[in-house]
Amino acid sequence: MKFKKIKNRLVLNRKVIVILYATRHIPRPLSVIRMEHKEDIIEYISIYCTDFYNELEKKAMRHYVAQVKFLPYKDRVEKMTIAYNRDSSNDSEVLKLLKNGIQEFHRNAAERVLNEHLCELTLNTCPKCGGIARTPTARQCRYCNHNWR
């Protein structure tokens, strides 16, 4: 097996990424992520790692929520009108992010977060197979059913 080093990461066949960190100058593996389940990783990041979104992506998420939740009730309920006016955006950059739909937005944002903040992310992965768990507190793998309680 031959590893290829890319920005403090070791990549094997573009399927497994090993994140390294240094403690007392001794590198050791932090976690292993199985990249075959990319949709699950995108879902995990878009739900639990939104702190790593940039300001434009946060505005886009607020705009999307305003469109989905507040727009139908905007003319009937005063609180909804206030919330809609506060969170909706006319910024062309925000609208450009959401142009191809929310799934495409989540995919692009998650890929950016994964590429830029991989060493900072605390992804809950299975110690046996490296699959990503459903939630940050889950202790059972959805792929191999391994229990690490």
List pLDDT tens digits, range 98-140: 999 999 999 999 999 988 988 888 888 888 888 889 999 999 9
CA 34 to chain centre: 15
Mean pLDDT, residues 65-78 = 84
DSSP string over 29-96: EEEEEEGGGHHHHHHHHHHH-GGGS-HHHHHHHHHHHIIIIIGGGTTT-HHHHHHHHHH----HHHHH
Which of 52-61, 66-75, 129-138 has the least mean pLDDT?
Answer: 66-75
Q: What is the pTM of this model?
A: 0.71
Indicate whether 5 pLDDT > 70.
no
Mean pLDDT, residues 47-57 = 93
Q: Write down the pLDDT at residue 34.
A: 65
Q: Write down the pLDDT at residue 32.
A: 54
First to last CA, the chain: 31
Indicate whether 16 pLDDT > 50.
no
pLDDT band at 28 (very low <50, low <70, confident <90, very high): very low
Mean pLDDT, residues 59-83 = 86
pLDDT band at 67 (very low <50, low <70, confident <90, very high): confident
